[in-house]
Structure 1
């Protein structure tokens, strides 16, 4: 699990590349604008330190902070303050100023939305005012050809760096979304589809059968006397039994078969493009495997399964009716003594038996 500190460090690492590229090539845009005024040596030292030293310092500050995310947001404000300072030193020279400040504004919007953009803009204004008081440059000087060429790398390369970071974030978000979708559809104990996800899948497969005349089968699987297992051996053993059955399902079924935990000790399987006889054969092998399995830690523990299986039929009006036929077959398997696979009866027999039960 990612902690807030790890997430903050990840955020700082993502910002390290665009900051390094932006300040590195931004140095040339500022230098080209200040060069005609022959600034003192300390200004050149400050420009070099800001352009090539500050990105590494900013990352170290975030890395060593107990709250890297907060520290990195603060670093972005410092970036804007520095950009405003150099804009003021240039006398708000149109091309380099717009290039530098707009790139920083884009960075702030990408990193923190409107709020960070607003705070960054205020920091730029503050930096420009301080710088103007120090240098008192001529405002809006003429844009030379040197300045034009010096700004081109910033206009071309920096947006590409921002785009790369945004792409990486989008990829990560896509992976996280897929992981959450899988988690929301997965039973936490067995790793199979949970009840809701499996029922949704059943509806989709039923619609396929209706539209494409496919042959599907569906099964409900119940662990015999599971309550007795829980009462005798405890719920931890009961959970292990459920896990073992889910493993047996995964090993016995085909890749195209879709297994889920229906609830409690009941499991469910969709068999695409599988006749009732084929599904019954697959489930019979599963039943024998579970029944013959010996538990080394609990040699007296014997498991058996009662299974009902039903094929899709044109008489079925919806997925619930299809599943109900499998449920009735499961009821027959239990009534006949358990530990068996029982195919569903023809629909007419099912309706007659239901009527007798209601009567």
Structure 2
């Protein structure tokens, strides 16, 4: 089923409830206004069929259509035409007519905006003229007490039904928005934050460190000889290694730590409220866990990590400089044998900063 059909069916389902409620309780408003004129029996039959049969027929027509969205918009025009017809048959009884036509106008605006509202208004006028030509009723008859009571459910219950539909749509939109936001900030392979999202958080953490002087550390993690793993075992195994490391990161770090995939085989972590020594202990445990892990399917495959850590310090002028210190510490870990955690000396001066676009 393509997207347009799904959306059309969803639209038809949303309209089914308010149409059923509106037509069902609207029947009483129309009946109370027409009763004094003693209409023929066929009018009562049509009213009953329209009030309690049409909502379900309209949904069925949209459901069976190859273009359910267009079918449902046609149904709304039929609603407007019928609403105008009953208003004309009532002689434009002020309370019942205004109640019914305004509710249908609200439907049209909610479903299709000003254009559908204008089309619906034209349909209402046409329906009203046809009914007036058939019945020639007294125009603007007096409003009886029973008409007031008959219109109260329409004025109270129908807006509640529309409000419920709108609330459900708002909830779905909110969930969809959150899902899209998560997709835009999540690395599809590992489930961790992606490069851009993690850097955005690093800027926030750097600003917090400057403002409230909190301790904070940042780390870059590299899988040793990852290219060799890909070349030897294939990219599928390489992807599994990346997933395993992301799982190990999630299990080893605290809930407050912010892990992401920096790119390729490199990962990144922000460790809030953490000294350099504490960060070193946390990441050393991670390094040992990964190194000691044995793969049952591939006993020859052993992983090791090189990790560089840098603590926030007042000498840092921006988040890029802070990240550059961690990168230099990682470079030192890799150049001195790999499979180790290396910390940037406190207060070290980075000769540059990583591009932080």
Tell me if both proteins adopt one fold, taking TM over 0.5 as the criterion: yes
Unaligned runs of 5+ in 2: 353-357
Post-superposition offset of 1:47: 0.5
Q: For 2:297 and 2:70, locate their aligned partners in 1 and report how far apart those are by CA, in whole Å.
A: 53
Q: For 2:305 and 2:66, locate their aligned partners in 1 and report how far apart those are by CA, in whole Å.
A: 55
Q: For 1:291 and 1:259, locate their aligned partners in 2 and report how far apart those are by CA, in whole Å.
A: 19
- Cα offsets for 1:25-72 (capped at 9, x unmatched): 111111111111100011001111111111111122222223322222
Could you say which residue in structure 2 is the equivalent of 1:307? 307
Post-superposition offset of 1:285: 1.0
Could you say which residue in structure 1 is the equivalent of 2:326? 326
- Cα offsets for 1:263-298 (capped at 9, x unmatched): 111100011111111111111111111111222222
**Partner SS for 1:295:** coil
Could you say which residue in structure 2 is the equivalent of 1:12? 12
Q: For 2:296 and 2:75, locate their aligned partners in 1 and report how far apart those are by CA, in whole Å.
A: 60
Q: For 2:237 and 2:2, locate their aligned partners in 1 and report how far apart those are by CA, in whole Å.
A: 32
- Cα offsets for 1:216-265 (capped at 9, x unmatched): 11100011111122222222221111111111111111111110001111
Q: For 2:168 and 2:115, locate their aligned partners in 1 and report how far apart those are by CA, in whole Å.
A: 23
Could you say which residue in structure 1 is the equivalent of 2:23? 23
Post-superposition offset of 1:2: 8.3
Q: For 1:260 and 1:29, locate their aligned partners in 2 and report how far apart those are by CA, in whole Å.
A: 61
Q: Which moved more, 1:226-235 or 1:191-200?
A: 226-235
Pick closer, same or farther for the CA change 1:299–1:2 going to 2, 3 Å.
farther
Could you say which residue in structure 1 is the equivalent of 2:245? 245
Q: For 1:29 and 1:327, locate their aligned partners in 2 and report how far apart those are by CA, in whole Å.
A: 75
Q: What pairs up with 1:10-89 in 2 under 5 angstroms? A: 10-89=10-89
**Partner SS for 2:76:** helix
- Cα offsets for 1:158-214 (capped at 9, x unmatched): 111111111111111111111111110001111100011000001111111111111
Provide the TM-score with structure 2 as the length reference.
Answer: 0.95
Q: For 1:138 and 1:90, locate their aligned partners in 2 and report how far apart those are by CA, in whole Å.
A: 8
CA contact (8 A) 2:291 2:303 kept: yes
CA contact (8 A) 2:313 2:346 kept: no
Could you say which residue in structure 2 is the equivalent of 1:276? 276
Could you say which residue in structure 1 is the equivalent of 2:337? 337
For these two proteins, the number of residue pairs brought into alignment is 352
Could you say which residue in structure 2 is the equivalent of 1:230? 230
- Cα offsets for 1:296-333 (capped at 9, x unmatched): 22222221111001111111111111111111100110
Unaligned runs of 5+ in 1: none
CA contact (8 A) 2:311 2:346 kept: no
Post-superposition offset of 1:139: 1.9
Could you say which residue in structure 1 is the equivalent of 2:187? 187
